[in-house]
């Protein structure tokens, strides 16, 4: 029992023992946080450390399962974002939430427009937005301008103005600078510092360590749904911070990596691959027998890279070579064809990997229909043989080949997604986070399968959000940051420390030799 | 346990496609058909005579041919609203070709015109990415305009050639009108197409998740194009049969076929959102609708009342199946 004394200097917001479960996953586990007025408080943590959930609870988007929130020593619970905003907590989310075809003023007061006689009071609305824009350091934006006509950095300022229009006491910015260029970031920082001087509490979530060093007064590190450390900004080195973010228990066993590497010519390579501003100048090579990992924080271009190689993206620049010869791959149909033999296990198995209401049979043969048919007519014997082989090879647990695939467990569904591509015996296998949301047992089977496929000569490119997997499975890991490969780690260099510090794009002193 | 499941699995796998896939919606439809016949027989014993039933099947066969094409498009998650005038165009063009003296090519020419319009629909949907509802509505009007231009707005001069009349009303098997045989052949082809070919699998796949189908390497655009082309061709073929039955083409002869063709497909258990449904259900839906129309008219219900009952039945059936979750 914590006895909170009623003092004049009680913290603005105190969260205690907050817990939240999503199904079987614990997103937050007795987490706590103290937010003070006039301070910028940075929150750090890996993917899935619980930062976003904490913010969503604070902003009234989700309700906590346990724990309490005290606003100036008053227990509060929010049932909706509007309630949180009314209590003085406003949030700027990472995805821009503005409606492009409405004016700036309309957007700023969209959830609570000033009204007269039940109609929107346009004059008051305009005054309100002018004030909010001025506070956000964007007094030069005209309230009647359409959001669509503003450049991205200005839109982000409008977004901040929109949050400020609630007259919040706490302003939360969730990756609010990830879409901005360096010069825009400087402008936003000036605004944030002024707001701090006005006495606002600012919660700042970012993966960019240098931004945090420049801006924050204090930092809290999250790991596995708990706050593991709080410290005054500037008192810890980058490598100490990385150390604090590491430290999950290793939950999986991995098959041994073969000691001797095959030095074959690369089967897949790309040079200077670019796409819009999401992929920049990516060059890589994957050899047969090799498992190459893609690391980095979520959303640094890994998905786009896999889709780009698979021919899904329009307007990529650079060249993709198969067996050393440049090939133009314009669609998944071209990518899977015989001489290329590529396969992609997509990110979302429910909408991209599987046809949920259709049967295990239909799903397993779907990517290889051309191989299992003659003149467009499906050869049932060949289809049955291939399905039996795959069900056995991957030990898919199903009541029968005519069970809808949606009735299978998550792990078995994922096996079907992989098996449907193995039916084609691909030479190049691209995997996009294939073990997300599946049980440990199936994960291990997938690791073993990947290693076996590599030994049989497949080239594997494997994106995972789980660092343990990259360490345990991969011969090499390419770390992406902001659409670029910033680091290549091989063999013994692949450690959690190296992965996290290169994912955050910071330098740490080398690990002491064991 | 595994052995038992495997036995059951292989036994199930050996059953023919339509039975293996039979879902409750199809059984419900056939149940409704029996119920309608029973109610009809209370009214008049003629409802159970072979002559009446064969006559109903003959009338149903025009709708059946059109609904087969509509089903392909609906399975993709799209819709073909160009049925009325593509159908009329098929009929008029076939008669026109016959009028120019080439009876041999009359029927293929009519179907070809429908297929071209279907290709146009498919191109708009697959490549220009226009919603099918808009494209097909527009091509319907274009077809109407072309036909009004061609006929000057009057009934066309050419009457249906002998071949067309024979196809619709002649007899190869004594007592069984050829139209029924045509419908049966189209049906056999459809069942084969949907259950045994890569094209059919792809149609179901695209209807469930176009994204997943595309990422599986399916040429989704081509499949969509082909499906619309088949739908256009079958609409025109339906028009050819109807013109043979009526011995001539007429303005707006297809108008009465748009709603029934969609309704038959949906009543047969095909999901209006695509991806789910069996052809047997569509056959049941066609018979159900034809019987409903026939009984309403035998009971001398006025046209207005018929339309109202019709609409209400369709809404009631949709409530029955449409609210099931997407997984079977």
Domain co-membership, A341 together with A391: yes
Domain co-membership, A443 together with A365: yes
Q: Of the candidates A116, A133, A167, which is a domain's last residue?
A: A167
A400 and B219 in contact by Cβ < 8 A?
A: no
Residue A57 and residue A64 in contact, taking contact as beta carbons nearer than 8 Å: yes
Q: What is the CATH number of the domain that holds A412?
A: 3.40.50.300
Domain co-membership, A104 together with A225: no
Residue A110 and residue A102 in contact, taking contact as beta carbons nearer than 8 Å: yes
d(CA A18, CA A51): 12
Is A495 within 8 Å of chain B by CB?
A: no
Which domain does B172 fall in, by range? 26-322
Residue A358 and residue B205 in contact, taking contact as beta carbons nearer than 8 Å: yes
Instruction: Give the other-Cβ count within 10 Å of A139's Cβ.
Output: 12
A400 and B201 in contact by Cβ < 8 A?
A: no
Judged by DSSP in three states, A183 sits in helix
Closest among A426, A453, A483, A422 to A294, alpha carbons compared: A483
d(CA A12, CA B260): 66
Task: Note whether residue A129 is domain-resident.
Answer: yes
Task: Note whether residue B10 is domain-resident.
Answer: no
User: Which member of A373, A399, A404 has the closest CB to residue B328?
Assistant: A404
One-letter-per-residue 3-state SS of B6-38: HHHHHHHHHCCHHHHHCCHHHHHHHHHHHHHHH
* Dihedral pair phi/psi, residue B145, rounded to 5°: -60, -45
User: Which member of A310, A354, A400 has the closest CB to residue B212?
Assistant: A354
Q: What is the mean pLDDT of residues B246-251?
A: 89
Task: Note whether residue A514 is domain-resident.
Answer: no
User: Which member of B12, B198, B215 has the closest CB to residue A332?
Assistant: B215
Q: Is the pLDDT of residue B88 over 80?
A: yes
CA-only gyration radius of chain A, Å: 26
B201 and A332 in contact by Cβ < 8 A?
A: no
Residue A55 and residue A203 in contact, taking contact as beta carbons nearer than 8 Å: yes
How far does CA A447 lie from the centroid of its chain?
Answer: 22
CA distance A12 to chain B (A): 47
d(CA B261, CA B239): 13
Nearest-10 crossing angle of helices B198-208, B178-196: 70
Domain co-membership, A409 together with A496: yes
From residue A54, alpha-carbon distances to A41, A97, A507, B124 in Å are 14, 20, 29, 47
Number of domains in chain A: 3
Q: How confident is the model at residue B82 (pLDDT cuts 50, 70, 90)?
A: very high
Instruction: Give the other-Cβ count within 10 Å of B294's Cβ.
Output: 18
Residue A138 and residue A162 in contact, taking contact as beta carbons nearer than 8 Å: no
Task: Note whether residue B162 is domain-resident.
Answer: yes
Domain co-membership, A349 together with A209: no
Is A353 within 8 Å of chain B by CB?
A: yes
Nearest-10 crossing angle of helices B83-99, B220-246: 60
User: Which member of B20, B201, B215 has the closest CB to residue A369?
Assistant: B201
B-interface mutation test, from A369, A374, A416, A426, most B Cβ less than 10 A away = A369
Task: Note whether residue A510 is domain-resident.
Answer: no
Residue A329: closest CA among chain B residues belongs to which residue? B217
B6 neighbourhood in chain A, CB within 8 Å:
400
Please report which helix (H) or strand (E) contains residue B310, including its range: helix B303-322
Q: What is the CATH number of the domain that holds B238?
A: 1.10.3470
Domain co-membership, A339 together with A436: yes
Is A313 within 8 Å of chain B by CB?
A: no
A353 neighbourhood in chain B, CB within 8 Å:
212, 215
Segments of chain A scoring below 50 in pLDDT: 1-7, 250, 511-514
A400 and B202 in contact by Cβ < 8 A?
A: no
A355 and B20 in contact by Cβ < 8 A?
A: no
* Residue B322 pLDDT: 54
- pLDDT tens, residue by residue, A373-419: 999 999 999 999 999 999 999 988 888 888 899 888 888 899 999 99
Number of domains in chain B: 1
B1 neighbourhood in chain A, CB within 8 Å:
none
* Residue A39 pLDDT: 92
Is A388 within 8 Å of chain B by CB?
A: no
Rounded to the nearest integer, the mean pLDDT of chain B is: 87
Domain co-membership, A498 together with A435: yes
Is A352 within 8 Å of chain B by CB?
A: yes
B205 neighbourhood in chain A, CB within 8 Å:
355, 358, 362, 366
Compute the Cα dihedral for A291, A292, A297, A303 and give only its sign. Answer: negative
B216 neighbourhood in chain A, CB within 8 Å:
332, 366-367, 420
Q: Of the candidates A215, A247, A279, which is a domain's last residue?
A: A247
B127 neighbourhood in chain A, CB within 8 Å:
none
Task: Note whether residue A106 is domain-resident.
Answer: yes
Task: Note whether residue B89 is domain-resident.
Answer: yes
Closest among A377, A343, A402, A189 to B195, alpha carbons compared: A377
| Sequence-separated (6 or more) residues with CB below 8 Å from residue A489 | A295, A476, A477, A479, A498, A499, A502
- pLDDT tens, residue by residue, A204-235: 988 777 788 888 999 999 888 888 889 998 88
| Burial bucket for residue A109 (CB in 10 Å: 0-12, 13-18, 19+) | buried
| Verdict on whether the full-model pTM lies above 0.90 | no
B219 and A378 in contact by Cβ < 8 A?
A: no
Task: Note whether residue B16 is domain-resident.
Answer: no
Domain co-membership, A96 together with A212: no
Is A373 within 8 Å of chain B by CB?
A: yes
* Residue B6 pLDDT: 43
d(CA B12, CA B30): 22
* Dihedral pair phi/psi, residue A416, rounded to 5°: -65, -40
Domain co-membership, A54 together with A187: yes
d(CA A74, CA A86): 15
Domain co-membership, A478 together with A329: yes
DSSP state, residue A438: -
**In the structure encoding, which two tokens stand for residue B22, read together?**
């039979």
Tokens 């018929």 identify what position?
Answer: B306
* Residue A185 pLDDT: 80
Task: Note whether residue A416 is domain-resident.
Answer: yes
Judged by DSSP in three states, A104 sits in helix
Is A417 within 8 Å of chain B by CB?
A: no
- pLDDT tens, residue by residue, A229-258: 899 988 888 778 877 877 655 455 688 887
Q: How many CB pairs under 8 A join A and B?
A: 99
* Residue B196 pLDDT: 94
A425 neighbourhood in chain B, CB within 8 Å:
none
* Residue A3 pLDDT: 42
Task: Note whether residue A461 is domain-resident.
Answer: yes
User: Which member of A357, A365, A370 has the closest CB to residue B326?
Assistant: A357
* Residue B318 pLDDT: 67
d(CA B160, CA B57): 22
Task: Note whether residue A289 is domain-resident.
Answer: yes
CA distance B314 to chain A (A): 24
Which domain does A187 fall in, by range? 9-79+169-247
Domain co-membership, A334 together with A378: yes
Q: How confident is the model at residue B328 (pLDDT cuts 50, 70, 90)?
A: very low
Closest among B185, B235, B177 to B58, alpha carbons compared: B177
Do the strands A325-327 and A25-35 form a parallel or antiparallel pair, or are they unpaired?
Answer: unpaired
Domain co-membership, A291 together with A370: yes
Task: Note whether residue A433 is domain-resident.
Answer: yes
Task: Note whether residue B289 is domain-resident.
Answer: yes
Strands (E), B124-261: 171-173, 176-177
A-interface mutation test, from B9, B217, B230, B328, most A Cβ less than 10 A away = B217
A407 and B201 in contact by Cβ < 8 A?
A: no
Strands (E), chain B: 171-173, 176-177
User: Which member of B6, B217, B276 has the closest CB to residue A357?
Assistant: B276
Judged by DSSP in three states, B171 sits in strand
A358 and B204 in contact by Cβ < 8 A?
A: yes
């Amino acid at each position: 029992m914590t006895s909170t004394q009623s003092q004049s200097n009680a913290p603005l917001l105190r969260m205690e023992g907050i817990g939240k479960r999503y199904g079987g996953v614990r997103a937050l586990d007795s987490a706590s946080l103290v937010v003070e007025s006039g301070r910028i408080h940075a929150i750090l943590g890996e993917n899935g450390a619980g930062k976003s959930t904490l913010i969503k609870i604070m902003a009234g988007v989700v309700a906590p399962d346990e724990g309490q929130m005290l606003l100036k020593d008053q227990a509060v619970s929010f049932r909706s974002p509007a309630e949180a905003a009314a209590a003085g907590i406003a949030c700027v989310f990472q995805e821009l939430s503005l409606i492009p075809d409405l004016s700036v003023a309309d957007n700023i007061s969209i959830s609570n427009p000033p009204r007269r006689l039940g109609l929107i009071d346009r004059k008051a609305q305009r005054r309100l937005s002018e004030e909010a824009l001025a506070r956000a350091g964007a007094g030069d934006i005209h309230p009647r301008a359409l959001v669509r006509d503003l450049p991205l950095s200005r839109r982000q300022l409008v977004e901040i103005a929109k949050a400020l229009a609630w007259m919040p006491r706490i302003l939360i910015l969730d990756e609010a600078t990830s879409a901005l260029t360096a010069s825009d970031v400087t402008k936003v920082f000036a605004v944030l510092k002024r707001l701090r001087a006005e006495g606002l509490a600012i919660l700042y979530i970012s993966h960019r360590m240098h931004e945090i060093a420049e801006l924050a007064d204090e930092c809290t590190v999250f790991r596995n749904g708990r706050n593991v450390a709080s410290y005054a900004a500037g008192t810890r080195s980058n490598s100490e911070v990385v150390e604090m973010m590491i430290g999950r228990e290793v939950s999986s066993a991995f098959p041994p990596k073969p000691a001797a590497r095959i030095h074959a010519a690369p089967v897949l390579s790309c040079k200077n691959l670019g796409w819009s501003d999401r992929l920049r100048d990516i060059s890589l090579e994957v050899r047969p027998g090799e498992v190459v990992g893609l690391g980095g924080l979520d959303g640094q271009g890994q998905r786009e890279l896999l889709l780009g190689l698979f021919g899904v993206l329009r307007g990529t620049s650079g060249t993709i070579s198969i067996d050393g010869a440049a090939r133009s791959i314009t669609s998944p149909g071209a990518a899977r064809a015989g001489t290329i033999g590529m396969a992609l296990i997509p990110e979302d198995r429910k909408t991209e990997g599987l046809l949920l209401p259709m049967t295990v049979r239909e799903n397993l043969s779907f990517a290889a229909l051309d191989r299992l048919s003659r003149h467009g007519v499906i050869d049932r014997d060949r289809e049955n043989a291939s399905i039996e082989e795959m069900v056995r090879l991957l030990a898919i647990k199903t009541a029968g080949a005519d069970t809808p695939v949606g009735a299978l467990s998550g792990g078995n569904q994922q096996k079907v997604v992989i098996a449907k591509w193995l039916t084609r015996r691909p030479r190049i296998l691209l995997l996009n986070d294939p073990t997300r949301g599946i049980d440990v047992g199936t994960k291990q089977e997938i690791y073993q399968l990947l290693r076996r496929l590599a030994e049989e000569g497949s080239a594997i490119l494997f994106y995972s959000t789980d660092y343990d997997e990259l360490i345990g499975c991969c011969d090499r890991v390419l770390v992406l940051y902001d659409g670029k490969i910033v680091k290549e780690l091989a063999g013994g260099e692949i450690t959690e420390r190296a992965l996290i510090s290169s994912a955050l794009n910071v330098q740490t002193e080398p690990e002491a030799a064991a | 346990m595994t052995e038992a499941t495997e036995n059951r699995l292989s036994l199930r796998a050996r059953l023919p496609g339509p039975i293996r896939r039979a879902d409750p919606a199809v059984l419900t439809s056939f149940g409704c058909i029996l119920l309608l016949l029973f109610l009809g027989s209370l009214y008049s014993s003629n409802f159970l005579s072979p002559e009446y039933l064969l006559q109903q099947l003959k009338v149903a066969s025009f709708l059946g041919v059109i609904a087969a094409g509509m089903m392909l498009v609906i399975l993709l998650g799209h819709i073909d609203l160009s049925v009325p005038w593509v159908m009329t165009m098929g009929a008029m063009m076939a008669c026109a070709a016959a009028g120019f003296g080439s009876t041999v090519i009359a029927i293929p020419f009519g179907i070809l015109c429908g297929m071209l319009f279907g290709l146009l629909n498919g191109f708009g949907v697959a490549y220009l990415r226009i919603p099918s509802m808009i494209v097909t509505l527009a091509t319907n009007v274009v077809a109407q305009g072309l036909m009004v231009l061609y006929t000057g707005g009057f009934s066309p001069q050419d009457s249906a050639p002998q071949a067309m009349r024979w196809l619709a009303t002649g007899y190869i098997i004594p007592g069984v009108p050829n139209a029924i045989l045509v419908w049966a052949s189209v049906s056999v082809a459809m069942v084969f197409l949907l259950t045994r070919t890569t094209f059919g699998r792809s149609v179901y796949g695209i209807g469930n998740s176009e994204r997943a189908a595309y990422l599986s390497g399916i040429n989704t655009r081509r499949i969509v194009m082909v499906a619309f082309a088949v739908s256009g061709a079958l609409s025109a073929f339906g028009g050819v049969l109807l013109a043979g039955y009526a011995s001539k083409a007429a303005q707006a002869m297809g108008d009465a076929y748009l709603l029934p063709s969609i309704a038959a497909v949906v009543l047969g258990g095909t999901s209006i959102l695509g991806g789910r449904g069996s052809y047997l259900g569509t056959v049941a839906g066609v018979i159900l609708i034809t019987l409903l129309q026939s009984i309403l008219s035998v009971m001398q219900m006025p046209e207005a009342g018929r339309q109202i009952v019709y609409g209400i039945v369709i809404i009631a059936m949709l409530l029955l199946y449409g609210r099931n979750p997407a997984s079977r």
